[in-house]
Structure 1
Amino acid sequence: MDITAGKTGVPMVCADSMMRNVWPIFAAYVADYPEQCLIACCKENRCPICTVGPNQRGDHGEHPLRDMRETLYLMHRQQGGQKDSEFEDDGIRAVYPPFWTNLPHSDIFQSFTPDLLHQLHKGVFKDHLVSWCTEIIGKLEVDDRFRAMPDHHGVRHFKNGISAVSQWTGAEHKEMEKVFLGLVAAGAEPEMVKAVRGLIDFAYFASLQSHTSQTLLAMRDSLNIFHDNKQIFIELKGRSSHFNIPKIHSLDHYEFLIRLFGSADGFNTESPERLHIDYAKNAYRASNRKDYIEQMTIWLQRQEAVARFTAYLSWVETLEVPKAALPRTTTTVEPIAPTTPSPAASQAPIDKDSLVISHHRLSLAKLPATRAVSATHIISQDGHNASRFIPALITFLGPSNSRFTPRTFDTFGTWKRVSFKLPQIPEIGKRHSTNLVRATAPAPASFAQRRAAEPAHLDCALIRTGESNSFTAGTALAGLRVAQVKVIFQVPSHYPGKPGPLAYIEWFTPLRRPDDTDGYYHLSRSSRQHGPYAEIIPVDRIVRSAMLIPQKWGEDKSFLLNSHSDGHAFCLYKLGRADSLPT
C-alpha cells in the first residue's frame, strides 16, 4: 500500500480551483458492526472502540479506549508465539499485520463513526425498544393505539398498526419515533415511560445536524435516564435477562464521536443506501435494459448537468438585482388584510411584499375554498363543531357593533388550511420547512365524484396571547397557548368593519411545567359557562401547529403536547429555541 501522499503531501486542485499541497489521511470508516470488528481485529462479543468486557456492554460504564500501539504490540508478540493475558482480555483476533498498521496520522479505533440508521433507528429503537414494549403492552393493543393516534400533518398515521408490516425503512422508523412515547405513556409503569422517553430523546438529539455543549449534555442525560430505568423491561418480562447488546453499548460512544467528527448525520449509512437508489436503480430504470451501463452513464451525466445548472440558478437568485430590471409579475397569494386586533393580538404592521404578518410568515389561499358556508353548518357536529361560534363572533365584533347581531343563516367563506414557513435553524437544516394548520369539516362519500368519505381535520396550534403565565415567562413559550382551530373564515361583506381572515378556536389550559415522567406538557380543554372556552381571533395570531395525544385512550379530557412531532417542535420544547418558531 502506497502511503507516501499521507506523509509528504500531494498537489491537488481544491474547490476554489487553487492548487494546494494536501495530506490525505484515513479519518473515518463507515461500516456495520461485524465489519467494524473485523477491521478492528477484535472478537464480535467486544467493542471495536473500547476494551469493555464481553458481559459488560449493557452496564453503561466508562472503559478505556483501545490503544493502537498497544494492540499492534500484542498482535506482534502473538505472531511470534508469545502468549499475553492482555491479548485475550482485550478480545483481540490474531490478524497480523492489519492494513492500517502504517497509516499516517490515523487511529483506526477512533475512525469508526456512528450509524444512526442501523444502530439507533432500526437497531435499538425498532428491533429492541419496540419489541420490548410490544411484548409488555400486547401486539393487538399496540396496533389499536397506532390506529387511534390523532391525525397530524407531517406525521404518518399507521392506520393498520405495525404488526403486519414485513419490511421497514429508516423513514418509517423515524415516523414511529414521533408518536411512540405518547403511545406508551397511557397506563404504563413510570419507569417504563422514562426509559422510552430517554431513548427517543437520545435519538432526536443524536440526529441533530449541529451540536453545542448544551445539546451534547442533554443527549448524555437522556441516555442516563434510559439506563437508570431499563431494568423495568426485565421486571415486566419484555426482555429476558440482560442488556448486553452491542448496539446499546455503541450509544455510549456517540458523544465522544460527535465531538470528534461532528454531527452524526454526516456518516449515516442511510445516505449511501439512498445514493444506491439515485445512482443505480433510477439510472437502470431510465435505460431500455440493453447495454444499460452505457445508458446509465449518459443518464447520470445529464443529471449532473441539470444539478449544476440548478445550483447556478439558485446562486443567481441570491444576487441583488435592481427592481427596474425585473419583469412585472403577479402573485398567487393574497396578502392578509389588516384586522382589528383584540388586546392580546400583536400590533406589528403587515409587510405585504414578504407576507410577514404579525412576525409570522403565513400563507393563505387567495380566495376561500368554500364561499357560502352557513353558521348552522359551522356550529353543527356534522360540520366544524364550533358550538360557540355565534357568541364568540358577537364578542369579537365588540360593543361598538351592538346593533348588529350575527345570525345562524349568515354564510361565511372558509379556508381549508393556513401554512407557515418554518425557519432554517442549524440543528434541523432545510428539513420540514412547511407547517400546516388545517380546519376542514368532514366530507361525505360521493359516488358521482368517486370520492371516499373524508374525516374532519381540526388541528391544534400555538396561539399568541396577551395572558401572563409565570411558568413560561422568560422562555421560548412565553405568550403562547394551545388551542384547537376549528374554522378559518371571513365574514360576509355586510358585516361592520369587514375584518380580515379570522379563526374560531377553543382553548386548552395554559402551559405549566413538563411532566417529570414523560417530559410532555399536560393539557386539558378549558371551559367557560359549562361549555368550551371559545374565541375568534385574527388568523395572524396563529404561530404553528401543535400535536396533542390523548393521555388516556378512549377519553377526550387530558392530552400530551407532543414535542417529537417534528424537529422544530423538538428544538422549541426541549431546547427552548425561540428561533425555531416562524418569524
Structure 2
Amino acid sequence: MVSLEVARKIRRKPSMQGQILLAYLPTSRLEHITNKAARRRSNANLFHSCMRKILQPLHDPGNQGVELASGDGVVRRCYPIFAAHVGDYPEQVLVTGVKTGQCPCCQVPAKELGEHGHDYAWRDFDAVLNALNIADDILRKNACSAAGIKPIYQPYWQELPYANPFRAITPDILHQLYQGVIKHLVAWIKSAYSEAEIDARCRRLPKNHHVRVFTKGISSLYQLTGREHADIARVLLGLVIDMPLPGGASPVRLVRAVRAILDFLYLAQYPVHTEQTLTLLDDALDRFHDNKQVFVDIGVRNSWAIPKLHFLRHYSYFIRRLGTTDNYNTESTERLHIDLAKDAYAATNAKDEFPQMTLWLERREKLFRHESYISWCLSGRPPRLPSHMAFEPPADRLIMTKHPSQNAVSFERVTADYGAPFFVDVLARYIVAFCNPGYSAAQVEHASNDVPFLFRSVPVYHKAKMWLGDLQNHRILTDESDVIHATPSKKDKRGCVVDGQFDTVMVNDGVGGYSGVAGYRVAQVRVIFTLPKSATPLFGAIGKLPPKFLAYVEWFTAFGVADNNHRLFKIKRVIQDGDRLASVVSLQNGAVEMSWINAALST
C-alpha cells in the first residue's frame, strides 16, 4: 500500500502526474440571455450538468465497489466516492447552491457571519434532497428557499452515493487565508497606521533567508499573489509591534489580533495535526475575535460579515474529517493551469483549440507512461521516485560548496571587510579551549596570548546551507534547508556598492530541542571559514583536528520571558567593555564552544 504521506507528496508534484485533467468546463457567459437572474441560473445549471456527466462513472463503483490493485500488488474491493470539493469561495457557492455572502456549510444567517461563540447547525442535506425532488416548479422553488439553497436543476451531487456537498467543502489556504483574511488584515493595518511609516519599517528589515525585503514598502502594491501575501505575513507582526496608533490609542489589542491571525495561518498549515494542535488552532481564532473590536474602535471596520473569515471556525472540523490542509490546497491546482491549459493551448494553432488540447495532453501522458516503463525496465525500479519514498538523510546537516569563496583572506581583510575586529584573539581562544576542554574562562584567556599562529590567512565561505530535518519528528518544511550568508559588501559591474549580508542564526548550546527556543542562543555570523593545513601543528598535542567549518559570530543576550501581547522575545547585542562579545563556533556542533561562552558570560 502507498502510504498517505507518499500519496500526498505525489499529488503535490505536477511532474509525478498525480493529478490528470478530466475535462474542460465551459466558461460561456450566455450573454444571449438578457435577464441577469435567468442567466445566473442557466450558468449554474450548465456547470452542474457538465459535472454530472464527468462524475457519472462514480455511481456504480460507489454503490457496488470495484476491484483495484494497490501498490503492494494486493487486489482489494474499493468504493470510490465523491468526498471533497477543492475550490475558492465562488466555486463553493456554485457547488452548494447557496447565495453569495452565505456560508456554504452551516446555517448561519448572512448578517451573523461575524459573530463568534455560537455554533450553528450544518445545512440539512436530507431537507435539500427532499426539496430538489419536488416536481412542481413553484413548490420546488419555495422548498429550496426554505432549505437555504437556490433551485438548481439536478445538481451533480444529487444522486452520487454517500455524497454531502455541505460537508465536502475543504479549507483553502491560498484563497481563504492568504488571498482572503491576510489580504484584509494588511488593508486594515494600512488604514490604521501611517503608510509612510509602514514602508519605512519594511525597508529597514535586514536581509535573511526566506525573508523578502520590500525595498519600496507594501503600501503601493496591488494585485498581490498568494506568495507575496505569504512574504508579507512573515514580517507583518514585526512591523506593528511597537507602532503607536493615531491619537495615542493603545495598540495592544491590535497586536494581539495580528498575532492571533498569524498563529492560525501557520497552525492551519501543519502537515500533521494532533488534538493539541487543533486546540491551539481554535484558541488562535478565539483570541482574534476577543481583540477584533479594536479595528471598529479606530474606524477601520464596521462589520465582520466576511464569509472567508467565518469559515475559519470550520477548519478544525474539516481537518479531522478530510485530513491536513496540504491535501487540498488550491495552490496545487492553480499551478496545474500552466501544464493543463496554458501549455496545451500554446501547442495548438488557436483554431478549434479544445480537441487539439485534449489530444496533445493525451499523447503527453502516454509519453510519460512509456518513459516510466522504459526507465523501470532499464533500472528495475520506477523512475522519478519522490525523495521521501527512499529518503536518506545527508551525512552531515551542513552542506558546503566544494571550494571556498575566497581561498586566502588575510587576517587584516577579515577584520576590515567582514567586520570581525577580534578575529585573531577569538580564534586563539577557540584553539586553546578546543585543545584544553577542562580550562576555565580565565585559563583560556591567559593561554590564548601564547598561541603561535603559523598562518596569516584563512579560506572563507560566503554561505552555508543547513539541513533542518529531523528523522525522529515529522518533516517540518517542503524545502528543509536554510542558508546562512556572510557576504561582505562589494561593487557590481557598474561600480555601484552592493551591501553585505551577515545573517543571524540560532546556535544550539547542546541541549536545544526540536522546537522552541530553550537551549538556543542568537548570534550574527560575520565570517565562515576553515583552517588551512598550516594550522595542523597547533592541534598535534591532542591528536585530533577541530571541525572543518567554523564561524566567527557576535552574540546576543539569552532569551528571557516572551512578551504577553506579541509573544516574541526582546534581545540585544552582548557588549563588554564597549565591544561586541564574539567567539568562534563550529558549524556542525556548537556545544563545546557554547559551554565556554556561557561560562564567560557568567563570570
Q: Structure 2-normalised TM-score?
A: 0.73
Change in Cα spacing, 1:282 to 1:429, as seen in structure 2 (3 Å) is farther
Change in Cα spacing, 1:133 to 1:427, as seen in structure 2 (3 Å) is farther
Equivalent of residue 566 in structure 2, options 498, 518, 543: 518
User: 2:589 matched to 1:537?
Assistant: no
Taking the TM superposition and a 5 Å limit, the aligned residue runs for 1:340-489 are: 355-356=395-396, 361-380=397-416, 383-398=417-432, 399-400=446-447, 402-404=449-451, 410-423=456-469, 428=475, 431-447=478-494, 453-465=497-509, 476-489=516-529
1:63 offset after TM fit, Å?
0.9
2:282 and 2:389 map into 1 onto residues whose CA distance is: 43
CA contact (8 A) 2:458 2:529 kept: yes
User: 2:150 matched to 1:150?
Assistant: no
2:386 and 2:110 map into 1 onto residues whose CA distance is: 57
Change in Cα spacing, 1:259 to 1:198, as seen in structure 2 (3 Å) is same
Which structure shows the bigger proportion of residues in helix conformation? 2
1:454 offset after TM fit, Å?
2.4
Taking the TM superposition and a 5 Å limit, the aligned residue runs for 1:61-460 are: 61-73=118-130, 91-95=148-152, 98-126=155-183, 128-188=184-244, 189-239=251-301, 241-285=302-346, 293=357, 294-295=359-360, 297-303=362-368, 305-306=370-371, 309=375, 312-313=382-383, 355-356=395-396, 361-380=397-416, 383-398=417-432, 399-400=446-447, 402-404=449-451, 410-423=456-469, 428=475, 431-447=478-494, 453-460=497-504
What amino acid does structure 2 have at the position aligned with 1:392? Answer: V
1:20 offset after TM fit, Å?
4.0
SS in 2 for 1:144: helix
Change in Cα spacing, 1:236 to 1:40, as seen in structure 2 (3 Å) is same
C-alpha deviations, 1:519-575, integer Å up to 9, x for none?
Answer: 2222111121221111112232359xxxxxxxxxxxxxxxxxxxxxxxxxxxxxxxx
What amino acid does structure 1 have at the position aligned with 2:418? Answer: H
CA contact (8 A) 1:388 1:532 kept: no
C-alpha deviations, 1:357-377, integer Å up to 9, x for none?
Answer: xxxx11223442212322222
CA contact (8 A) 2:486 2:502 kept: yes
User: 2:100 matched to 1:44?
Assistant: yes
1:301 offset after TM fit, Å?
3.7
CA contact (8 A) 1:211 1:427 kept: no
Match of 1:509 in 2: 557
Using the aligned pairs only, state the percent identity.
32
1:416 and 1:142 map into 2 onto residues whose CA distance is: 31
**5+ residue gaps in structure 2?**
1-51, 245-250, 433-445, 540-544, 592-603
What amino acid does structure 1 have at the position aligned with 2:573? Answer: R
Change in Cα spacing, 1:70 to 1:427, as seen in structure 2 (3 Å) is farther
What amino acid does structure 2 have at the position aligned with 1:312? Answer: P
1:393 and 1:318 map into 2 onto residues whose CA distance is: 40
CA contact (8 A) 2:507 2:523 kept: yes
CA contact (8 A) 1:279 1:300 kept: no
1:95 and 1:296 map into 2 onto residues whose CA distance is: 33
2:449 and 2:323 map into 1 onto residues whose CA distance is: 63
**5+ residue gaps in structure 1?**
321-352, 544-583
C-alpha deviations, 1:472-498, integer Å up to 9, x for none?
Answer: 899754432111111112345544237
CA contact (8 A) 1:210 1:427 kept: yes
CA contact (8 A) 2:144 2:151 kept: no
What amino acid does structure 2 have at the position aligned with 1:190? Answer: V
What amino acid does structure 2 have at the position aligned with 1:539? Answer: L
What amino acid does structure 2 have at the position aligned with 1:526? Answer: V
1:81 offset after TM fit, Å?
5.9
What amino acid does structure 2 have at the position aligned with 1:143? Answer: D
Change in Cα spacing, 1:492 to 1:24, as seen in structure 2 (3 Å) is closer
Match of 2:3 in 1: none
Change in Cα spacing, 1:474 to 1:43, as seen in structure 2 (3 Å) is closer
Match of 1:327 in 2: none
Change in Cα spacing, 1:281 to 1:452, as seen in structure 2 (3 Å) is farther
CA contact (8 A) 1:386 1:486 kept: yes
1:135 offset after TM fit, Å?
1.0
Match of 2:88 in 1: 32
C-alpha deviations, 1:151-190, integer Å up to 9, x for none?
Answer: 1112222223234444332222222221111122232511
What amino acid does structure 2 have at the position aligned with 1:194? Answer: R
SS in 2 for 1:312: coil
SS in 1 for 2:84: coil
1:316 and 1:89 map into 2 onto residues whose CA distance is: 50
SS in 2 for 1:541: coil
CA contact (8 A) 1:210 1:263 kept: yes
Change in Cα spacing, 1:25 to 1:489, as seen in structure 2 (3 Å) is closer
1:319 and 1:135 map into 2 onto residues whose CA distance is: 48
C-alpha RMSD of matched pairs (Å):
3.5
What amino acid does structure 2 have at the position aligned with 1:71? Answer: V
1:376 and 1:250 map into 2 onto residues whose CA distance is: 60
1:23 offset after TM fit, Å?
2.5
2:181 and 2:578 map into 1 onto residues whose CA distance is: 47
C-alpha deviations, 1:43-75, integer Å up to 9, x for none?
Answer: 223212111112111112311111211333456
2:492 and 2:514 map into 1 onto residues whose CA distance is: 49
Match of 2:14 in 1: none
SS in 1 for 2:224: coil
What amino acid does structure 2 have at the position aligned with 1:144? Answer: A
Change in Cα spacing, 1:304 to 1:87, as seen in structure 2 (3 Å) is closer
1:104 offset after TM fit, Å?
2.3
What amino acid does structure 2 have at the position aligned with 1:364? Answer: M
2:386 and 2:243 map into 1 onto residues whose CA distance is: 56
Change in Cα spacing, 1:93 to 1:282, as seen in structure 2 (3 Å) is closer
Change in Cα spacing, 1:473 to 1:510, as seen in structure 2 (3 Å) is farther
Change in Cα spacing, 1:26 to 1:368, as seen in structure 2 (3 Å) is closer
1:303 offset after TM fit, Å?
4.5
Match of 2:530 in 1: 490
Q: Comparing both chains, which one has the higher relative contact order based on Cα–Cα distances under 8 Å and sequence gaps of 6 or more?
A: 1
